[in-house]
Amino acid sequence: MKAGAGPHGEDGVPLLIVLRDVLGYADNRKEARYALNEDNVLINGKAISDEERPVGMFDILAFTEREEYYRVFPGEGGRLALTAIDPDAAESKLGKIVTKTHVSGGDVQLGLHDGETLVVEDAQTYDAGDSIVVGNEDGEIVAHFEYEEGALVTAVDGAHAGEVGEIEEIQVTPGSAQNNVIVSQDGDEGFETVEEYVVVIDENFTGDDE
């Protein structure tokens, strides 16, 4: 089953799969639709009624009736995993800046990994590769993590998906080839991957926030 139109493109997983196969909250599509009609299943603060709505990396899932909150995090092999979080952490979501373009009026529009866009005035503050945390209710940026050596990152694709470490070195590749990133890990050998596969996070995104 493929996700419907919406955020994350082909990387998204239908909400039905999460409800049925991951959490076991519905046995079939009919039960999932019934649950969604109650308006107590939220993604990034918004009630969802479409069981095919794509769920993807760093989305926030809230089950208000159950008082359960999850962040979608990269798992082993690139599969999506759910990390339990507290209600406060569920009020905002993380996005990786993938594009930065000028728009009318002199402002700059940031494009995030999930397709969301934000217009900002202080354009010099943000660069592609950085991550921001955006409030679900007001769309305001509440935190900013720069993509730089020493930053904490997680790999979201490739052989090291789900692994977390600090950027030791960013290897700039001439021409159109991808830059490489060397990531160090405490007590481990670390790993090397392409720049596209890493997302800057902070320690609150590496496990259960409770």
Give the strand order in the sheet containing 164-171: 191-194, 180-184, 164-171, 152-155, 198-200
Phi, psi dihedrals of residue 38, rounded to the nearest 5° = -80, -5
pTM: 0.88
How high is the pLDDT of residue 210?
43
Cα–Cα distance, 181 to 112 (Å, whole number) = 20
Give the list of residues 6+ apart from residue 9 with CB closer than 8 angstroms, or none. 54, 115
Structure tokens at 29: 């599509």
Which amino acid would we find at residue 119?
Answer: V
Q: Express each pLDDT in 39-53 by its tens digit.
A: 999 999 999 999 999
Length of the chain, in residues: 210
pLDDT at 80 over 90: no
How high is the pLDDT of residue 5?
60
Cβ distance 152 to 164 under 8 Å? yes
